[in-house]
Structure 1
Amino acid sequence: MAELHDLTALEQWDELHRGRLSPRELVDHYLERIARLDPAIGALTVVEPERARARAAGLERGEVARTAPLWGIPIADKELSARAGQVTSYGSRLRAGFVPEHSDELVEQLDAAGAISLGATAAPEFGLPSYTESAQSGATRNPYDLARGAGGSSGGAAAAVAAGLLPVAPGSDGGGSVRIPAAACGLVGLKPSRGRVPAGSGLDRLAGLVVPGPLARTVSDAALMLDAMVEGAPWEFATRAPSPHDGPLLGYAVRGEGRFQLGVVTDSPWDDWCEVGLAPEAQAALDGALRLFAQMGHGIEQLEPRPEPEYAEHFRTVWMAGAAGIPARTPDELAQLEPLTAWLVERGRALPASRLAEALAGLAAFERRVVRRFAAVDVVVTPALAMTPRPIGWYDAVDAERNFRQQVQYTPFTSFVNVSGLPALTVPVGLTGPDSAEPGLPMGVQLIGRPGGEAALLSLGAQLERRRGPLPHPAMW
């Protein structure tokens, strides 16, 4: 017999609106699962049962209109998002026990959409690494294999959704931080176009890298949450992602219609900086997805590689400059940072302004080249990750330069999408088979759209999802 967590977020939303399920029942169900299963996973760093139940009761009293897009749906804030009155550590010992007085705009937006936060999901220190093994809260484990990591930086969000501890969760993505953990945990991860989400447009961030996005089990669930992130929010910037439509995106994900010209890319702008190779499992996932797309009648062409020898140093410069603002000034405060973070902070604070200006100009020019390169196709297809989900402890905890290189080798196809401001969707293709040296692990592909092209991504992702069939749940489901 199906349990509540077996239902998709969209199905749960439908049950709530038909009156066959109450927000309190749904909250209690997920709180019980968190208490029972999360000690082995480490997906959530804060759980607020009383606050969540009070919120559910308020929704039942009508504090938020039932027409709100996420009315009654449980979520959890990413640990990098401040919620007034809730511990927000930013994944760092430096901020352990910090309780903000005010909530971030995205948190307020999701509250207005009727969601019920159960607490906070784990993230690495200040969201800088692409894996979630924090000295503050420990490692977040992959529900498909507890010896593997969940990816990062939205690793807690991904692990929680993959284990059925939440139906859907918000994340943030500055270099792949939604798509990496989604791919590692067999989920759908959506990075919107720069400017799509007003509460996290990216237009106010260095190089426009960071935007929020949903992690979900299905393409429709991801669209449901993205619509909630956008709906009803005032536009506060003069620039926004162009779009061929003004309405919700959910319909594109539900219908899954259209035929598209697909361009396949297997080169990375990191190729000139370090050795990037595709593991057999990553190649098999790409090949499998392309076979399914061909069977569905989509056009497929291989795009010629384009070397980008300056990309790596420009991106590293901006990443270091972003770390320079971390609030650690005294020797005691700096000593509380993890080695990778401390290295990024030190390097970032030593940068001359002229070097940062050069890097920003270089990445802006790179963005234009990428958009031109992809203009002839509707959607670009890449591997989601270059390797299988990495074992806990695989990343070098002492040598920061080597650690950074390891992250690039695992995730060479994600950061350039942030730099170019394009939308991207990671979709699971299946689990590694018995012939693999690492069986039973999720592998997927990344779909990259034109500026404002989320509708095409959701349509194509839904088609792949239907043709692929249900992905097996983790054993602990």
Structure 2
Amino acid sequence: MSDLHELSALQQRDAVRRGEVGSRELTEHYLTRIEALNPELGAFITVTAEQALAAAREADERQAHGQELPRLHGLPLAFKDLTDVAGVHTTHGSSAVDHVPAPANHTLVDVLQAAGAISLGKTQVPEFGLTAYSENRIARPARNPLDPATSPGGSSGGSAAAVAAGMLPFAPGSDGGGSVRIPAAATGLIGLKPGRARVPAGTSGEDAGRLVVAGPLARTAADAGLLLDAMVDEPLARAAFGTEPDFLGAALRAEGRFRIGASTLSPFAASYPLWLEPEAQTAFDQGIRLLGGLNHDVLDADFRYDNRYPDAFTTVWTSSLAQLRMPASREPQLMPLTRAFRRRALKKSPAELLAALRILARFQEDTIAQFGQYDLVLTPALAMTPRPVGWYTATSAEVDYMRQCQYSPYTSMINVCGLPAIAVPVLTTARGHSMGIQLVGKPGSEAVLLAAAAQLENVR
């Protein structure tokens, strides 16, 4: 058998079910890889080896006794360190808050553990999940396995680095402004942001704009579908969406021909100078060529966005920082960007927050109406190649945030609209960086996105 981490998550699942490899053997394999690779890549903040091996032993016993095996039986994964796992410290990537063991699991953890997944620990995040990079003051920065001098993005950067480096077969991330799709694009993975409320958010923070949703990071569309099938198996999600999910099946079938609107326009152009680096433009053009070659109808789309979007989004995105219960003596321990955003949030009145929410609600209505002309909308995944570690934090808070908007100008608007979207790699640059595209679907079209991503995989 090939090295276990070289198999897809789906192949690993099947090997475990056939008895070709045990859950404990699989878990030990990944723990060994974490021990070897994490010192350089900084993907994990906490490794819970003892708990993982105990869970793997129980999984093997369940299989030995002929019990029914859950969907993700024996498959390792890990959670962002914004997600509570009972008995494990949740740091939120911050040195300004107490790191205490979580008293209970987040719903997403319960759902995936019930599906048979085995958690290996907690992965690196930016402070409170705020940024498009994964650097903080409590642990070494997460680094991109494709080029360790660069960042894997954020805020699910540690999870993406772990999957891309073969420290995990796949992982759940959470996405409030691009936090699954940005790291996926930077590390050459599939990253799916489901539509609003399709999956438990994966974080415990306030979310006034209902921006955050959990989604899978994986090396293939089928692996993303396998994980998403488990992630949506939660009572409220089942009640809201009714039908039994088959995202894995959609990826394996890879069916459909779609009308696709292609655009490089971004609402952040109202506030910042935006441009596509040559590699990003080449990836966008490659996406158009590949999709056209698959007999999709790819058309130039001329979208128009509300110029008030950048300020309104920033107000809503940072509003949760005003709710942090923190003595003034600890504020200097915050990262400079967090501290600046918190001060801004504290100055905003409830009326100003409400006004920003209303602007975003109108933006959602207008944008969904424009996107509705197409089955899918195509944008660049990122406007630049992966950025060097420290590129953002070496500047002022204002320049840091501007650079994030310039790096990833196409993701946050999809969270505001509550639409599903997927990042798909389409090429590798001469320097070994992965570049990709973003596909945005209609409400409830996660299966369509996985099918389209699988089609692209088949022709790359």
Tell me the TM-score normalized by structure 2.
0.96
Tell me what 2:39 maps to.
39
> Is contact 1:194–1:203 with CA below 8 Å preserved after alignment?
no
Counterpart check, 1:174 vs 2:176: yes
- The alpha-carbon deviation at position 357 of structure 1 amounts to 0.6
* 1:390 to 1:204, Cα distance in 2 relative to 1, 3 A: closer
Counterpart check, 1:298 vs 2:296: yes
* 1:422 to 1:204, Cα distance in 2 relative to 1, 3 A: farther
Tell me what 2:130 maps to.
128
Aligned-partner Cα distance in 1 for 2:325–2:109:
22
Tell me what 2:25 maps to.
25
Counterpart check, 1:60 vs 2:57: no
SS at match of 1:21: coil
Aligned-partner Cα distance in 2 for 1:116–1:261:
40
Counterpart check, 1:427 vs 2:419: no
Counterpart check, 1:449 vs 2:441: yes
Q: 1:291-334 CA distances to partner (integer Å, 9 max, x unpaired)?
A: 11111111010111314211001101102212212232x12221
Aligned-partner Cα distance in 2 for 1:386–1:52:
38
* 1:21 to 1:366, Cα distance in 2 relative to 1, 3 A: same
- The alpha-carbon deviation at position 110 of structure 1 amounts to 0.9
- The alpha-carbon deviation at position 205 of structure 1 amounts to 3.0
Aligned-partner Cα distance in 2 for 1:196–1:87:
27
Tell me what 1:472 maps to.
none
Q: How does 1:249-398 map to 2 (within 5 A)?
A: 249-328=247-326, 330-397=327-394
Q: 1:193-213 CA distances to partner (integer Å, 9 max, x unpaired)?
A: 002114659998311100001
> Is contact 1:140–1:156 with CA below 8 Å preserved after alignment?
yes
Tell me what 2:407 maps to.
410
> Is contact 1:384–1:413 with CA below 8 Å preserved after alignment?
yes
Aligned-partner Cα distance in 2 for 1:173–1:65:
35
> Is contact 1:4–1:26 with CA below 8 Å preserved after alignment?
yes
Aligned-partner Cα distance in 2 for 1:325–1:397:
27
Of the structure 1 ranges 319-328 and 126-135, higher mean CA displacement relative to structure 2 is found in 319-328
Tell me what 2:185 maps to.
183
* 1:198 to 1:42, Cα distance in 2 relative to 1, 3 A: closer
Tell me what 1:114 maps to.
116
Aligned residue type for 1:464: L
Aligned-partner Cα distance in 2 for 1:204–1:237:
23
SS at match of 1:134: coil
Aligned residue type for 1:235: L
Aligned residue type for 1:442: S
Counterpart check, 1:140 vs 2:142: yes
> Is contact 2:34–2:167 with CA below 8 Å preserved after alignment?
yes
SS at match of 1:95: coil
Aligned-partner Cα distance in 1 for 2:394–2:155:
16
Specify every segment of 5 or more residues in structure 2 that has no aligned partner in the other structure, as ranges: none
Aligned-partner Cα distance in 2 for 1:46–1:201:
17
Tell me what 2:455 maps to.
463
Aligned-partner Cα distance in 1 for 2:50–2:237:
35
SS at match of 1:149: coil
> Is contact 2:232–2:238 with CA below 8 Å preserved after alignment?
no
Q: 1:86-118 CA distances to partner (integer Å, 9 max, x unpaired)?
A: 121110112353211111111111111100001
**How many residues matched?**
458
Structure 1 stretches of at least 4 aligned residues deviating more than 6 Å after TM superposition: 201-204
Aligned-partner Cα distance in 1 for 2:194–2:81:
20
> Is contact 2:175–2:214 with CA below 8 Å preserved after alignment?
yes
SS at match of 1:306: coil
Percent identical: 47
Aligned-partner Cα distance in 2 for 1:246–1:380:
26
Of the structure 1 ranges 454-463 and 56-65, higher mean CA displacement relative to structure 2 is found in 56-65
SS at match of 2:451: helix
Aligned-partner Cα distance in 1 for 2:191–2:416:
18
SS at match of 2:269: coil
Tell me what 1:235 maps to.
236
Aligned-partner Cα distance in 2 for 1:140–1:408:
20
> Is contact 1:150–1:389 with CA below 8 Å preserved after alignment?
yes
Tell me what 2:164 maps to.
162
Tell me what 2:3 maps to.
3
Of the structure 1 ranges 60-69 and 215-224, higher mean CA displacement relative to structure 2 is found in 60-69
Aligned-partner Cα distance in 2 for 1:199–1:131:
19
Tell me what 1:15 maps to.
15
Aligned-partner Cα distance in 2 for 1:392–1:227:
34
SS at match of 1:119: strand
Tell me what 2:154 maps to.
152
> Is contact 1:109–1:199 with CA below 8 Å preserved after alignment?
no
- The alpha-carbon deviation at position 77 of structure 1 amounts to 1.1
> Is contact 1:324–1:345 with CA below 8 Å preserved after alignment?
yes
Q: 1:174-206 CA distances to partner (integer Å, 9 max, x unpaired)?
A: 000000001000000000000211465999831
* 1:370 to 1:112, Cα distance in 2 relative to 1, 3 A: same
Tell me what 1:475 maps to.
none
Tell me the TM-score normalized by structure 1.
0.93
Aligned-partner Cα distance in 2 for 1:19–1:356:
55
> Is contact 2:419–2:442 with CA below 8 Å preserved after alignment?
yes
Aligned-partner Cα distance in 1 for 2:395–2:107:
36
